[in-house]
Structure 1
Amino acid sequence: MKSAAVLAAAGAGVALAQSPTSDIPAPAGTSLSPEPITVSGSFDGENFLYDRESVVCQEQDETGTQDTIFILEDGASISNVIIGPNQAEGIHCLGSCSITNVWFQDVCEDAITILGDGSSATISGGGAFAADDKIVQINGVGVDVRIENYYIQDYGKLARSCGNCSGNGGPRNIVIDNVVAKDGGVLCGINTNYGDTCHITNSCVDSGKSCDLYTGNDTGDEPDKIGSGPDGQFCTAEITEDC
Protein backbone atom coordinates (compact mmCIF):
# COMPACT_ATOMS: atom_id res chain seq x y z
CA MET A 1 0.00 0.00 0.00
CA LYS A 2 1.21 3.48 -0.76
CA SER A 3 1.36 5.90 2.16
CA ALA A 4 -1.87 7.47 3.42
CA ALA A 5 0.05 10.47 4.74
CA VAL A 6 0.67 13.64 2.76
CA LEU A 7 1.66 12.73 -0.78
CA ALA A 8 3.76 15.24 -2.68
CA ALA A 9 5.38 13.07 -5.31
CA ALA A 10 6.46 14.74 -8.51
CA GLY A 11 4.58 14.04 -11.69
CA ALA A 12 1.96 15.47 -13.99
CA GLY A 13 -0.52 14.11 -16.50
CA VAL A 14 -1.13 15.38 -19.99
CA ALA A 15 -4.54 16.61 -21.10
CA LEU A 16 -6.20 14.61 -23.85
CA ALA A 17 -6.25 16.26 -27.26
CA GLN A 18 -8.55 13.79 -29.04
CA SER A 19 -12.25 13.13 -28.51
CA PRO A 20 -12.79 11.62 -25.04
CA THR A 21 -13.55 7.89 -24.88
CA SER A 22 -14.90 5.51 -22.25
CA ASP A 23 -11.65 3.54 -22.04
CA ILE A 24 -10.52 3.49 -18.41
CA PRO A 25 -6.87 2.42 -18.22
CA ALA A 26 -6.22 -1.02 -16.77
CA PRO A 27 -5.08 -0.45 -13.17
CA ALA A 28 -1.35 -0.90 -12.64
CA GLY A 29 -2.16 -2.03 -9.10
CA THR A 30 -4.46 -1.31 -6.17
CA SER A 31 -3.91 0.88 -3.12
CA LEU A 32 -6.45 0.77 -0.28
CA SER A 33 -6.42 3.39 2.48
CA PRO A 34 -8.22 3.48 5.85
CA GLU A 35 -8.43 7.28 5.66
CA PRO A 36 -8.32 10.15 3.17
CA ILE A 37 -4.99 10.74 1.43
CA THR A 38 -3.86 14.37 1.61
CA VAL A 39 -1.97 15.70 -1.41
CA SER A 40 0.28 18.75 -1.46
CA GLY A 41 2.31 19.72 -4.49
CA SER A 42 1.80 17.31 -7.40
CA PHE A 43 1.01 13.59 -7.25
CA ASP A 44 1.16 11.10 -10.13
CA GLY A 45 -0.78 7.94 -9.25
CA GLU A 46 0.77 5.98 -12.14
CA ASN A 47 -2.65 4.53 -13.01
CA PHE A 48 -3.07 2.77 -9.67
CA LEU A 49 -6.61 2.17 -8.45
CA TYR A 50 -7.16 3.99 -5.15
CA ASP A 51 -10.03 3.31 -2.79
CA ARG A 52 -10.99 3.14 0.88
CA GLU A 53 -10.33 -0.09 2.74
CA SER A 54 -13.94 -0.30 3.88
CA VAL A 55 -17.07 0.98 2.17
CA VAL A 56 -17.97 4.50 3.32
CA CYS A 57 -20.31 5.26 0.41
CA GLN A 58 -23.85 5.99 1.58
CA GLU A 59 -25.22 6.67 -1.90
CA GLN A 60 -26.86 10.15 -1.95
CA ASP A 61 -26.49 10.83 1.78
CA GLU A 62 -23.98 13.67 2.09
CA THR A 63 -21.13 12.81 4.40
CA GLY A 64 -18.01 14.99 4.37
CA THR A 65 -14.30 15.35 3.78
CA GLN A 66 -13.60 12.42 6.12
CA ASP A 67 -15.17 10.11 3.51
CA THR A 68 -13.10 11.22 0.52
CA ILE A 69 -10.21 9.24 -0.92
CA PHE A 70 -8.11 12.33 -1.76
CA ILE A 71 -7.91 15.80 -0.18
CA LEU A 72 -6.04 18.32 -2.34
CA GLU A 73 -4.49 21.23 -0.51
CA ASP A 74 -4.51 24.68 -2.12
CA GLY A 75 -2.46 24.57 -5.32
CA ALA A 76 -2.16 20.77 -5.42
CA SER A 77 -2.48 18.62 -8.51
CA ILE A 78 -3.25 14.95 -9.06
CA SER A 79 -2.94 12.85 -12.21
CA ASN A 80 -3.23 9.32 -13.56
CA VAL A 81 -5.47 7.81 -10.89
CA ILE A 82 -8.42 5.41 -11.00
CA ILE A 83 -10.83 5.79 -8.08
CA GLY A 84 -12.88 2.83 -6.89
CA PRO A 85 -16.44 2.63 -5.52
CA ASN A 86 -15.90 2.35 -1.74
CA GLN A 87 -15.27 6.07 -1.13
CA ALA A 88 -18.17 8.49 -0.71
CA GLU A 89 -16.91 11.95 -1.68
CA GLY A 90 -14.10 11.27 -4.15
CA ILE A 91 -11.76 14.26 -4.24
CA HIS A 92 -12.11 17.45 -2.18
CA CYS A 93 -10.18 20.53 -3.34
CA LEU A 94 -9.56 22.86 -0.39
CA GLY A 95 -8.45 25.64 -2.76
CA SER A 96 -7.21 25.83 -6.33
CA CYS A 97 -6.44 22.42 -7.83
CA SER A 98 -5.66 20.53 -11.01
CA ILE A 99 -7.10 17.07 -11.71
CA THR A 100 -5.74 15.32 -14.81
CA ASN A 101 -6.58 11.89 -16.22
CA VAL A 102 -8.47 10.79 -13.12
CA TRP A 103 -11.22 8.18 -13.59
CA PHE A 104 -14.14 7.41 -11.27
CA GLN A 105 -15.43 3.86 -11.73
CA ASP A 106 -18.65 4.43 -9.77
CA VAL A 107 -19.50 7.85 -8.33
CA CYS A 108 -21.09 7.80 -4.88
CA GLU A 109 -22.47 11.11 -3.53
CA ASP A 110 -20.27 13.11 -5.89
CA ALA A 111 -16.84 12.75 -7.47
CA ILE A 112 -15.15 16.13 -7.01
CA THR A 113 -16.00 19.00 -4.65
CA ILE A 114 -14.47 22.48 -4.96
CA LEU A 115 -14.47 24.11 -1.52
CA GLY A 116 -12.15 27.14 -1.53
CA ASP A 117 -13.58 30.64 -2.04
CA GLY A 118 -11.90 32.56 -4.86
CA SER A 119 -10.23 29.42 -6.17
CA SER A 120 -9.88 27.86 -9.60
CA ALA A 121 -9.99 24.23 -10.68
CA THR A 122 -9.05 22.49 -13.92
CA ILE A 123 -10.35 18.99 -14.59
CA SER A 124 -8.74 17.63 -17.75
CA GLY A 125 -8.93 14.13 -19.19
CA GLY A 126 -10.39 11.09 -17.49
CA GLY A 127 -14.06 10.63 -16.75
CA ALA A 128 -16.78 9.40 -14.43
CA PHE A 129 -19.49 6.74 -14.45
CA ALA A 130 -22.71 6.00 -12.57
CA ALA A 131 -23.37 9.31 -10.81
CA ASP A 132 -26.95 9.32 -9.51
CA ASP A 133 -26.74 13.09 -9.11
CA LYS A 134 -23.76 15.35 -9.75
CA ILE A 135 -20.14 14.65 -10.64
CA VAL A 136 -18.57 18.02 -9.75
CA GLN A 137 -19.97 20.00 -6.80
CA ILE A 138 -18.90 23.65 -6.49
CA ASN A 139 -19.35 24.99 -2.95
CA GLY A 140 -16.76 27.76 -2.89
CA VAL A 141 -17.85 31.30 -3.78
CA GLY A 142 -16.17 33.18 -6.63
CA VAL A 143 -14.82 30.00 -8.20
CA ASP A 144 -13.73 29.31 -11.79
CA VAL A 145 -13.95 25.70 -12.97
CA ARG A 146 -12.79 24.36 -16.33
CA ILE A 147 -13.70 20.81 -17.42
CA GLU A 148 -12.13 19.62 -20.67
CA ASN A 149 -11.45 16.43 -22.64
CA TYR A 150 -13.73 14.51 -20.28
CA TYR A 151 -16.02 11.47 -20.65
CA ILE A 152 -19.13 10.87 -18.54
CA GLN A 153 -21.81 8.19 -18.66
CA ASP A 154 -24.92 7.47 -16.58
CA TYR A 155 -25.08 10.73 -14.61
CA GLY A 156 -27.44 13.38 -13.29
CA LYS A 157 -25.32 16.51 -13.78
CA LEU A 158 -21.71 17.04 -14.73
CA ALA A 159 -21.31 20.19 -12.61
CA ARG A 160 -23.52 22.00 -10.09
CA SER A 161 -22.91 25.21 -8.20
CA CYS A 162 -24.29 24.78 -4.69
CA GLY A 163 -27.94 25.71 -4.57
CA ASN A 164 -28.44 26.09 -0.82
CA CYS A 165 -25.11 26.28 1.04
CA SER A 166 -24.73 28.38 4.17
CA GLY A 167 -23.12 31.67 3.12
CA ASN A 168 -24.03 30.92 -0.48
CA GLY A 169 -23.18 33.34 -3.27
CA GLY A 170 -21.25 33.75 -6.46
CA PRO A 171 -20.37 34.06 -9.12
CA ARG A 172 -19.22 30.58 -10.03
CA ASN A 173 -18.05 30.32 -13.60
CA ILE A 174 -17.97 26.96 -15.37
CA VAL A 175 -16.31 26.31 -18.74
CA ILE A 176 -16.92 22.92 -20.38
CA ASP A 177 -15.00 22.00 -23.55
CA ASN A 178 -14.65 18.75 -25.51
CA VAL A 179 -16.85 16.63 -23.25
CA VAL A 180 -18.67 13.47 -24.33
CA ALA A 181 -21.75 12.77 -22.19
CA LYS A 182 -23.94 9.68 -22.60
CA ASP A 183 -27.03 8.30 -20.87
CA GLY A 184 -27.50 11.18 -18.48
CA GLY A 185 -28.99 14.54 -17.68
CA VAL A 186 -27.62 18.08 -17.99
CA LEU A 187 -24.04 19.28 -18.11
CA CYS A 188 -24.40 22.07 -15.56
CA GLY A 189 -26.73 23.55 -12.98
CA ILE A 190 -26.17 27.19 -12.03
CA ASN A 191 -27.74 29.91 -9.87
CA THR A 192 -28.55 32.93 -12.02
CA ASN A 193 -29.32 35.15 -9.01
CA TYR A 194 -25.66 34.82 -7.96
CA GLY A 195 -24.36 35.57 -11.46
CA ASP A 196 -23.16 32.02 -12.15
CA THR A 197 -22.27 31.18 -15.75
CA CYS A 198 -21.77 28.00 -17.76
CA HIS A 199 -20.21 28.09 -21.23
CA ILE A 200 -20.14 24.82 -23.19
CA THR A 201 -18.20 24.29 -26.44
CA ASN A 202 -17.19 21.43 -28.72
CA SER A 203 -19.16 18.84 -26.73
CA CYS A 204 -21.52 15.94 -27.42
CA VAL A 205 -24.49 15.28 -25.13
CA ASP A 206 -26.81 12.53 -26.33
CA SER A 207 -29.61 13.84 -24.08
CA GLY A 208 -29.33 17.26 -25.73
CA LYS A 209 -29.47 18.88 -22.29
CA SER A 210 -26.99 21.63 -21.51
CA CYS A 211 -27.96 23.77 -18.49
CA ASP A 212 -30.52 23.98 -15.71
CA LEU A 213 -31.03 27.43 -14.20
CA TYR A 214 -31.90 27.93 -10.53
CA THR A 215 -32.50 30.59 -7.91
CA GLY A 216 -30.02 29.70 -5.20
CA ASN A 217 -30.39 30.37 -1.47
CA ASP A 218 -28.40 30.16 1.76
CA THR A 219 -31.15 28.67 3.91
CA GLY A 220 -30.75 25.00 3.09
CA ASP A 221 -34.09 24.89 1.26
CA GLU A 222 -34.35 23.14 -2.09
CA PRO A 223 -33.52 25.79 -4.73
CA ASP A 224 -36.19 26.74 -7.26
CA LYS A 225 -35.55 25.69 -10.84
CA ILE A 226 -36.42 28.60 -13.13
CA GLY A 227 -35.43 27.36 -16.56
CA SER A 228 -33.47 25.00 -18.78
CA GLY A 229 -31.23 25.39 -21.79
CA PRO A 230 -29.05 28.20 -23.11
CA ASP A 231 -30.30 31.72 -22.47
CA GLY A 232 -27.40 33.53 -24.13
CA GLN A 233 -26.37 35.21 -20.88
CA PHE A 234 -25.84 32.79 -18.03
CA CYS A 235 -25.66 29.67 -20.21
CA THR A 236 -24.28 29.26 -23.73
CA ALA A 237 -23.90 25.91 -25.45
CA GLU A 238 -22.39 24.52 -28.64
CA ILE A 239 -23.30 20.84 -28.51
CA THR A 240 -24.24 17.92 -30.73
CA GLU A 241 -26.33 14.87 -29.82
CA ASP A 242 -24.67 12.27 -32.04
CA CYS A 243 -22.14 10.69 -29.70
Structure 2
Amino acid sequence: MPSLLKITLFSASLVSAAITNTELQTAIPASSGTTDLAAVQTIAAGESFDGEMLLWDRNPSTCAGQTEGGDADAVFILEDGATLSNVLIGPNNGEGVHCLGSCTINNVWFTDVCEDAMTFKQVSGTSFVNGGGAAGADDKVLQHNGGGTLAVKNFLAQNVGKVYRSCGNCDEQSARLSTFTNIRVEGAKVVAGVNGNLGDSTTIEDSCLVGVDSVCDLFEGNDTGDEPSQTASAPDGTTCATSGVTLDSC
Protein backbone atom coordinates (compact mmCIF):
# COMPACT_ATOMS: atom_id res chain seq x y z
CA MET A 1 0.00 0.00 0.00
CA PRO A 2 1.53 3.34 -1.01
CA SER A 3 2.43 5.70 1.81
CA LEU A 4 0.48 8.94 2.04
CA LEU A 5 3.85 10.70 2.01
CA LYS A 6 4.32 9.59 -1.59
CA ILE A 7 1.45 11.74 -2.83
CA THR A 8 3.02 13.94 -5.51
CA LEU A 9 1.84 17.26 -6.91
CA PHE A 10 2.74 17.89 -10.54
CA SER A 11 2.81 21.07 -12.54
CA ALA A 12 0.06 21.44 -15.12
CA SER A 13 2.56 20.88 -17.93
CA LEU A 14 3.73 17.58 -16.48
CA VAL A 15 0.23 16.28 -15.95
CA SER A 16 -0.76 17.18 -19.49
CA ALA A 17 2.05 14.92 -20.68
CA ALA A 18 0.89 12.01 -18.51
CA ILE A 19 -1.37 9.26 -19.86
CA THR A 20 -4.93 10.41 -19.22
CA ASN A 21 -7.81 8.70 -21.01
CA THR A 22 -10.60 11.24 -21.29
CA GLU A 23 -12.44 9.46 -24.08
CA LEU A 24 -15.82 7.89 -23.38
CA GLN A 25 -15.33 4.41 -21.92
CA THR A 26 -18.11 1.87 -21.49
CA ALA A 27 -16.88 0.16 -18.30
CA ILE A 28 -15.09 1.17 -15.12
CA PRO A 29 -11.40 0.33 -15.55
CA ALA A 30 -9.42 -1.88 -13.19
CA SER A 31 -7.33 -0.21 -10.49
CA SER A 32 -3.56 -0.46 -10.29
CA GLY A 33 -3.64 -0.86 -6.48
CA THR A 34 -5.30 0.67 -3.42
CA THR A 35 -4.65 3.59 -1.10
CA ASP A 36 -6.66 4.25 2.07
CA LEU A 37 -6.78 7.76 3.47
CA ALA A 38 -7.37 8.50 7.14
CA ALA A 39 -8.38 12.07 6.26
CA VAL A 40 -9.50 14.00 3.21
CA GLN A 41 -6.65 14.89 0.82
CA THR A 42 -6.51 18.51 -0.38
CA ILE A 43 -5.12 19.48 -3.78
CA ALA A 44 -3.94 23.09 -3.46
CA ALA A 45 -5.08 25.93 -5.68
CA GLY A 46 -3.57 25.70 -9.13
CA GLU A 47 -1.92 22.34 -8.46
CA SER A 48 -2.48 19.05 -10.30
CA PHE A 49 -2.54 15.53 -8.94
CA ASP A 50 -2.22 12.27 -10.88
CA GLY A 51 -3.63 9.31 -8.96
CA GLU A 52 -1.94 6.74 -11.24
CA MET A 53 -5.21 4.75 -11.51
CA LEU A 54 -5.04 3.66 -7.89
CA LEU A 55 -8.26 3.02 -5.97
CA TRP A 56 -8.46 5.81 -3.37
CA ASP A 57 -10.79 5.38 -0.41
CA ARG A 58 -11.34 6.39 3.22
CA ASN A 59 -10.43 4.19 6.20
CA PRO A 60 -12.32 4.27 8.48
CA SER A 61 -15.30 4.70 6.19
CA THR A 62 -17.13 8.04 6.12
CA CYS A 63 -20.11 6.67 4.19
CA ALA A 64 -23.38 7.11 6.10
CA GLY A 65 -25.86 6.23 3.37
CA GLN A 66 -27.92 9.20 2.21
CA THR A 67 -27.09 11.32 5.25
CA GLU A 68 -25.66 14.62 4.00
CA GLY A 69 -21.95 14.92 4.76
CA GLY A 70 -19.36 17.66 4.49
CA ASP A 71 -15.85 18.37 3.26
CA ALA A 72 -14.31 16.16 5.95
CA ASP A 73 -16.13 13.11 4.55
CA ALA A 74 -14.68 13.47 1.03
CA VAL A 75 -11.66 11.72 -0.47
CA PHE A 76 -10.32 14.78 -2.29
CA ILE A 77 -10.87 18.51 -1.88
CA LEU A 78 -9.87 20.59 -4.91
CA GLU A 79 -9.13 24.24 -4.29
CA ASP A 80 -9.61 26.86 -7.01
CA GLY A 81 -7.87 25.89 -10.25
CA ALA A 82 -6.84 22.41 -9.05
CA THR A 83 -6.82 19.38 -11.36
CA LEU A 84 -7.43 15.74 -10.40
CA SER A 85 -6.61 12.98 -12.91
CA ASN A 86 -6.49 9.18 -13.20
CA VAL A 87 -8.23 8.15 -9.99
CA LEU A 88 -10.67 5.45 -8.94
CA ILE A 89 -12.65 6.23 -5.80
CA GLY A 90 -14.02 3.41 -3.68
CA PRO A 91 -17.29 3.02 -1.74
CA ASN A 92 -16.11 3.86 1.78
CA ASN A 93 -16.56 7.62 1.62
CA GLY A 94 -19.56 9.85 1.92
CA GLU A 95 -18.71 12.69 -0.44
CA GLY A 96 -16.15 11.71 -3.10
CA VAL A 97 -14.68 14.92 -4.54
CA HIS A 98 -15.45 18.50 -3.47
CA CYS A 99 -14.44 21.41 -5.72
CA LEU A 100 -14.23 24.60 -3.67
CA GLY A 101 -13.52 26.70 -6.77
CA SER A 102 -13.34 26.03 -10.48
CA CYS A 103 -11.63 22.67 -11.00
CA THR A 104 -10.81 20.09 -13.66
CA ILE A 105 -11.51 16.37 -13.16
CA ASN A 106 -9.97 14.04 -15.76
CA ASN A 107 -10.57 10.28 -15.97
CA VAL A 108 -11.90 9.94 -12.43
CA TRP A 109 -14.11 6.95 -11.60
CA PHE A 110 -16.45 6.08 -8.74
CA THR A 111 -16.95 2.37 -8.25
CA ASP A 112 -19.98 2.61 -5.92
CA VAL A 113 -21.24 6.07 -4.95
CA CYS A 114 -22.33 6.64 -1.35
CA GLU A 115 -24.06 10.03 -0.91
CA ASP A 116 -22.69 12.11 -3.82
CA ALA A 117 -19.76 11.53 -6.15
CA MET A 118 -18.75 15.13 -6.92
CA THR A 119 -19.89 18.44 -5.44
CA PHE A 120 -19.14 21.77 -7.13
CA LYS A 121 -19.03 24.85 -4.92
CA GLN A 122 -17.37 27.48 -7.10
CA VAL A 123 -18.86 30.96 -6.94
CA SER A 124 -18.31 31.52 -10.65
CA GLY A 125 -16.21 30.23 -13.54
CA THR A 126 -16.28 26.80 -15.19
CA SER A 127 -15.46 23.38 -13.83
CA PHE A 128 -14.74 20.51 -16.22
CA VAL A 129 -15.38 16.77 -15.97
CA ASN A 130 -13.56 15.01 -18.80
CA GLY A 131 -14.01 11.26 -19.15
CA GLY A 132 -14.48 8.99 -16.17
CA GLY A 133 -17.76 7.79 -14.73
CA ALA A 134 -19.73 6.54 -11.75
CA ALA A 135 -21.88 3.57 -10.81
CA GLY A 136 -24.34 2.61 -8.11
CA ALA A 137 -25.48 6.03 -6.87
CA ASP A 138 -28.74 5.84 -4.94
CA ASP A 139 -29.09 9.59 -5.34
CA LYS A 140 -26.80 12.12 -7.08
CA VAL A 141 -23.56 11.81 -9.02
CA LEU A 142 -22.86 15.49 -9.79
CA GLN A 143 -24.13 18.02 -7.22
CA HIS A 144 -23.90 21.68 -8.28
CA ASN A 145 -24.19 23.84 -5.15
CA GLY A 146 -22.18 26.90 -6.20
CA GLY A 147 -22.56 29.05 -9.28
CA GLY A 148 -20.95 29.25 -12.70
CA THR A 149 -20.84 26.43 -15.21
CA LEU A 150 -20.21 22.69 -15.10
CA ALA A 151 -19.07 21.20 -18.43
CA VAL A 152 -19.19 17.40 -18.66
CA LYS A 153 -18.08 15.31 -21.62
CA ASN A 154 -17.37 11.63 -22.35
CA PHE A 155 -18.82 10.55 -19.00
CA LEU A 156 -20.36 7.16 -18.09
CA ALA A 157 -23.13 6.74 -15.50
CA GLN A 158 -24.53 3.32 -14.60
CA ASN A 159 -27.50 2.61 -12.32
CA VAL A 160 -27.77 5.99 -10.62
CA GLY A 161 -30.50 8.19 -9.21
CA LYS A 162 -29.64 11.59 -10.70
CA VAL A 163 -26.65 12.19 -12.95
CA TYR A 164 -26.78 15.95 -12.20
CA ARG A 165 -28.67 18.18 -9.79
CA SER A 166 -28.55 21.94 -9.51
CA CYS A 167 -29.19 22.56 -5.82
CA GLY A 168 -32.88 23.20 -5.23
CA ASN A 169 -32.72 24.62 -1.71
CA CYS A 170 -29.23 25.98 -0.97
CA ASP A 171 -28.92 29.02 1.29
CA GLU A 172 -27.38 31.01 -1.57
CA GLN A 173 -28.89 30.45 -4.99
CA SER A 174 -27.87 31.57 -8.47
CA ALA A 175 -28.39 30.68 -12.11
CA ARG A 176 -26.30 27.59 -12.81
CA LEU A 177 -25.26 26.47 -16.26
CA SER A 178 -24.38 22.90 -17.24
CA THR A 179 -23.47 21.14 -20.47
CA PHE A 180 -23.29 17.41 -21.20
CA THR A 181 -21.60 16.21 -24.38
CA ASN A 182 -21.21 12.58 -25.48
CA ILE A 183 -22.27 11.08 -22.16
CA ARG A 184 -23.56 7.53 -21.80
CA VAL A 185 -26.18 6.75 -19.15
CA GLU A 186 -27.25 3.17 -18.47
CA GLY A 187 -30.02 3.31 -15.91
CA ALA A 188 -31.04 6.52 -14.11
CA LYS A 189 -34.12 8.06 -12.58
CA VAL A 190 -33.15 11.52 -13.86
CA VAL A 191 -30.30 12.75 -16.04
CA ALA A 192 -30.51 16.44 -15.05
CA GLY A 193 -32.52 18.24 -12.36
CA VAL A 194 -32.57 22.03 -12.82
CA ASN A 195 -34.34 25.08 -11.41
CA GLY A 196 -36.21 27.01 -14.07
CA ASN A 197 -37.20 29.89 -11.81
CA LEU A 198 -33.57 30.59 -10.89
CA GLY A 199 -32.37 30.89 -14.48
CA ASP A 200 -30.67 27.50 -14.73
CA SER A 201 -29.80 26.21 -18.17
CA THR A 202 -28.61 22.75 -19.16
CA THR A 203 -27.90 21.24 -22.57
CA ILE A 204 -27.45 17.54 -23.34
CA GLU A 205 -26.09 16.72 -26.78
CA ASP A 206 -24.76 13.78 -28.80
CA SER A 207 -25.45 11.39 -25.93
CA CYS A 208 -26.93 7.93 -25.34
CA LEU A 209 -29.40 7.70 -22.46
CA VAL A 210 -30.89 4.24 -21.97
CA GLY A 211 -33.00 2.98 -19.09
CA VAL A 212 -33.73 6.57 -18.09
CA ASP A 213 -37.02 7.51 -16.41
CA SER A 214 -36.61 11.23 -17.11
CA VAL A 215 -34.13 13.22 -19.18
CA CYS A 216 -34.84 16.46 -17.32
CA ASP A 217 -36.79 17.30 -14.19
CA LEU A 218 -37.54 21.00 -13.76
CA PHE A 219 -37.99 22.48 -10.30
CA GLU A 220 -38.87 25.71 -8.55
CA GLY A 221 -35.78 26.28 -6.44
CA ASN A 222 -35.66 28.22 -3.18
CA ASP A 223 -33.22 29.50 -0.56
CA THR A 224 -35.36 28.56 2.45
CA GLY A 225 -34.25 24.94 2.73
CA ASP A 226 -37.70 23.65 1.80
CA GLU A 227 -38.00 20.73 -0.57
CA PRO A 228 -38.29 22.27 -4.06
CA SER A 229 -41.46 21.61 -6.02
CA GLN A 230 -41.22 19.92 -9.41
CA THR A 231 -42.77 21.86 -12.30
CA ALA A 232 -42.08 19.60 -15.29
CA SER A 233 -40.47 16.33 -16.31
CA ALA A 234 -39.27 16.86 -19.87
CA PRO A 235 -36.89 19.09 -21.82
CA ASP A 236 -38.52 22.48 -22.45
CA GLY A 237 -35.93 23.78 -24.90
CA THR A 238 -34.89 26.62 -22.58
CA THR A 239 -34.09 25.45 -19.09
CA CYS A 240 -33.25 22.05 -20.52
CA ALA A 241 -32.42 21.53 -24.18
CA THR A 242 -31.33 18.35 -25.98
CA SER A 243 -29.75 17.63 -29.36
CA GLY A 244 -28.65 14.35 -30.88
CA VAL A 245 -29.85 12.29 -27.91
CA THR A 246 -30.57 8.57 -28.29
CA LEU A 247 -32.95 6.94 -25.81
CA ASP A 248 -33.35 3.35 -27.08
CA SER A 249 -29.89 1.86 -27.59
CA CYS A 250 -26.23 2.85 -27.69
Q: What is the TM-score normalised by the length of structure 2? A: 0.91
Q: Deviations over 1:196-235 (max 9, x none)?
A: 0110001111135321100000111000000011111111
State whether residues 4 and 38 of structure 1, in contact with CA within 8 Å, keep that contact through their aligned partners in structure 2: no
Closer, same or farther in 2 for the Cα pair 1:215/1:15, shift >3 Å?
A: farther
Percent identity over the alignment is 44
**C-alpha deviation, 1:102, in angstroms:** 0.4
1:140 lines up with 2:146 in the alignment:
yes
SS at match of 2:197: helix
1:131 lines up with 2:132 in the alignment:
no
Distance in 2 between residues matched to 1:231 and 1:20, nearest whole Å: 29
- 2:164 pairs, out of 151, 159, 163, with 159
1:184 lines up with 2:188 in the alignment:
yes
State whether residues 99 and 122 of structure 2, in contact with CA within 8 Å, keep that contact through their aligned partners in structure 1: yes
SS at match of 2:72: helix
**C-alpha deviation, 1:104, in angstroms:** 0.1
Matches within 5 A, 1:48-197: 48-141=54-147, 143-168=148-173, 170-197=174-201
Q: Relative to structure 2, which stretch is displaced further, 230-239 or 5-14?
A: 5-14
Q: Deviations over 1:154-179 (max 9, x none)?
A: 111111110001122x2100100111
Closer, same or farther in 2 for the Cα pair 1:173/1:90, shift >3 Å?
A: same
State whether residues 4 and 33 of structure 1, in contact with CA within 8 Å, keep that contact through their aligned partners in structure 2: no
Q: Which residue of 1 aligns with 2:9?
A: 8
Distance in 2 between residues matched to 1:84 and 1:196, nearest whole Å: 31
**C-alpha deviation, 1:4, in angstroms:** 6.7
The letter of the residue matching 1:122 is F
**C-alpha deviation, 1:64, in angstroms:** 0.4
Distance in 2 between residues matched to 1:43 and 1:15, nearest whole Å: 15
RMSD, aligned α-carbons: 1.6
State whether residues 119 and 140 of structure 1, in contact with CA within 8 Å, keep that contact through their aligned partners in structure 2: no
- 1:234 pairs, out of 230, 234, 239, with 239
The letter of the residue matching 2:56 is Y
Q: Relative to structure 2, which stretch is displaced further, 233-242 or 33-42?
A: 233-242
**C-alpha deviation, 1:119, in angstroms:** 3.0
Q: Which residue of 1 aligns with 2:202?
A: 198
**C-alpha deviation, 1:62, in angstroms:** 0.2
Distance in 2 between residues matched to 1:174 and 1:15, nearest whole Å: 22
Distance in 2 between residues matched to 1:15 and 1:194, nearest whole Å: 35
Matches within 5 A, 1:35-54: 35-40=39-44, 41-54=47-60
State whether residues 178 and 202 of structure 2, in contact with CA within 8 Å, keep that contact through their aligned partners in structure 1: yes
Q: Deviations over 1:30-59 (max 9, x none)?
A: 111100000120111110110001111011
- Alignment coverage as a number of residue pairs: 239
Structure 2: stretches of 5+ with no match in the other structure: none
Q: Which residue of 1 aligns with 2:32?
A: 28
The letter of the residue matching 1:183 is G
The letter of the residue matching 1:57 is C
1:219 lines up with 2:239 in the alignment:
no
SS at match of 1:207: strand
- Segments ≥4 residues shifted beyond 3 Å: 4-7, 12-17
Q: What is the TM-score normalised by the length of structure 1? A: 0.94
The letter of the residue matching 2:141 is I
Structure 1: stretches of 5+ with no match in the other structure: none
